[in-house]
Amino acid sequence: MTEHLNEAGEPWLVTSIEDGVACATLNRPEARNALALELREDLKAFLIGLRTRSDVRVVLLQAAGKSFIAGGDIKVFGRGLEMSPEDRSADMKMRASGAGGLSEIIQTLPQPVIVAARGFAVGVGASVVFAADLAMVSENAKIGLTHVTLGISPDGAGTFLLPRLVGQKRAAQIALLGEVMDANELLDLGLVNWVVPDGELEDRAMALARKLADGAPVAQQETKRLLHGALDRDIARQIAAEAESLARCALTDDYAEGLRAILDRRAPRFGQQGS
């Protein structure tokens, strides 16, 4: 695969794994990190590779420059105008399936996923923010499913995620009007967890990631699994799922360590890795 470089000669995607934190940084600042197909597929491949990494406890997604993801690559979409209607339709279907696949990977990774976003996260960029377990944004964040302003419908699983986060009526308002929400609106709606000063975003997000990485991984992974399955179960099945999760957690060394830490009046030192 040909490596794609930005204007500074750096890779479009920069990744690292250190102290339990897997970090992926989108690195096309000159294009406001528009999610070109190649960048998207590289990110998906990196995330898929984390599924079975016992040394990875939390995933952090962030971006270089002044915006997180300013949608898809408009220049590529523009070239689609030269295609026949049938080919253009097939191309858009393929791209939408891939974008939805990215959100699905984020949602189904066993590890908690944090997004740290500044500036614009629109179109598929908004869907990525919505897909994450936790979202921290800077004060200048502008996020929305803006697809309708281009005459297309949303992708990236945005129409799956948004109603579950804010309810059907508010989701319709946001998506049908192509609303772009500022940081305070996002916080009020529960679409993000924290709003921080722009200059503190990376440090605050990494501090959060490290805090999670110090936690009990099996308990965190079981909690994520329970939360993501909750809306698809009735209460009886959710209670049964909780019981099964607790049974698995009870088998871990971290459970014993957590109890000992409380009895000894000290901070726990969790060490068992999740799977």
Are the C-beta atoms of residues 182 and 141 closer than 8 Å to each other?
A: yes
**Do 115 and 233 fall into the same domain?**
no
**Do 166 and 30 fall into the same domain?**
yes
pLDDT interval class at 129 (50, 70, 90):
very high
Closest CA to 28 of 17, 20, 36: 36
For residue 271, being part of any structural domain is answered with: no
**Do 26 and 102 fall into the same domain?**
yes
**Do 223 and 127 fall into the same domain?**
no
Which helix (H) or strand (E) segment holds residue 104: the answer is: helix 85-108
For residue 7, being part of any structural domain is answered with: no
Q: Looking at the predicted structure, is the pLDDT value of residue 64 above 60?
A: yes
**Do 48 and 92 fall into the same domain?**
yes
Residue 232: CB atoms within 10 A of its CB come to 8
**The predicted structure's pLDDT at residue 57:** 97
Number of structural domains the chain divides into: 2
Of 2-11, 60-69, 112-121, 135-144, the least confident? 2-11
For residue 3, being part of any structural domain is answered with: no
Domain ends where: 177, 193, 213?
Answer: 213
Domain ends where: 178, 196, 213?
Answer: 213
Are the C-beta atoms of residues 38 and 4 closer than 8 Å to each other?
A: yes
Q: Looking at the predicted structure, is the pLDDT value of residue 103 above 60?
A: yes
For residue 74, being part of any structural domain is answered with: yes
Q: Looking at the predicted structure, is the pLDDT value of residue 274 above 60?
A: no
Partner residues linked to 181 by β-bridges? 143
**The predicted structure's pLDDT at residue 263:** 95
**The predicted structure's pLDDT at residue 75:** 74
**pTM score of the predicted model:** 0.93
| Domain extent for 64 | 13-213
Altogether, the residues listed in the chain come to a count of 275
Q: Looking at the predicted structure, is the pLDDT value of residue 181 above 90?
A: yes
CATH number, domain containing residue 164? 3.90.226.10
**The predicted structure's pLDDT at residue 273:** 42
pLDDT interval class at 91 (50, 70, 90):
confident
Q: Looking at the predicted structure, is the pLDDT value of residue 255 above 70?
A: yes
φ/ψ of residue 165, rounded to 5: -90, -40
